Amino acid sequence: MGGRILGVTAGMFLYGAVFLVAAATDLVSKEIVFARMGMPGFSPAVTVVPGMLWIETNLNEGALFGMGQGLGPLFAVVSVAALSLIVFAIVRTAAGREPLLVVALGLISGGIVGNLYDRLGLPGLAWHAPLERQGNRVLAVRDWIHFRLDGVIDWPIFNLADSWLVIGSATLLLLSLFPPRTPATDGHG
């Protein structure tokens, strides 16, 4: 069974579509949740699935799982560099011709942009606490999905951008372990 190969234009179109949908769903969801619930601590968590899933606002000045608190500027630079490399790979290499790879890189790019938007302070939020930070511009990622199984798991609060990053990265891992077979490599060509 041969893998499907995209032309350059189709690859760029697919990448752009996945990227835009991923970034838009993340940014719109954050805007809606923060507009309705306010800054962390303003509203109680909303139960979506009892004992498992809540909507709760949170601000993360670090990276995945809150690691690297205070290193936001470094993460912003790394984000721009990674996004540049991904776009280069889509436009100038064979990566832009493999549909699953293009989708994975589109999801990762959408996740990068969603969190980078927050890290740069573009939502225009200001800290309400602690007192010494009150009124300062928020340069942190807006998170709102809280998954936990009482007494077993309390996952750090995350957002859709984080989900897109994880799904895209997991897809890249699977592609590296099980590369798609193309007509030139499947023994029929």
- pLDDT tens-digit readout, 87-137: 999 988 888 889 999 999 999 999 999 999 999 999 999 999 889 999 999
Catalytic residue (one of 26, 143, 150, 154)? 143
Stated pTM of the model:
0.88
pLDDT band at 3 (very low <50, low <70, confident <90, very high): low
> With the C-alpha atoms ordered 8, 14, 20, 23, is the resulting torsion angle positive or negative?
negative
Q: Which residues of 33-55 are buried (b: 16+ CB within 10 A; e: fewer)?
A: bbeebebbeeeeeeeeeeeebbb
Residue 74's Cβ-count burial label (10 Å; 0-12, 13-18, 19+) is exposed
162 is catalytic: yes
Would you state the pLDDT for residue 189? 45
Catalytic residue (one of 118, 150, 162, 186)? 162
Residue type for 160, please? L
d(C-alpha 120, C-alpha 124), whole Å? 9
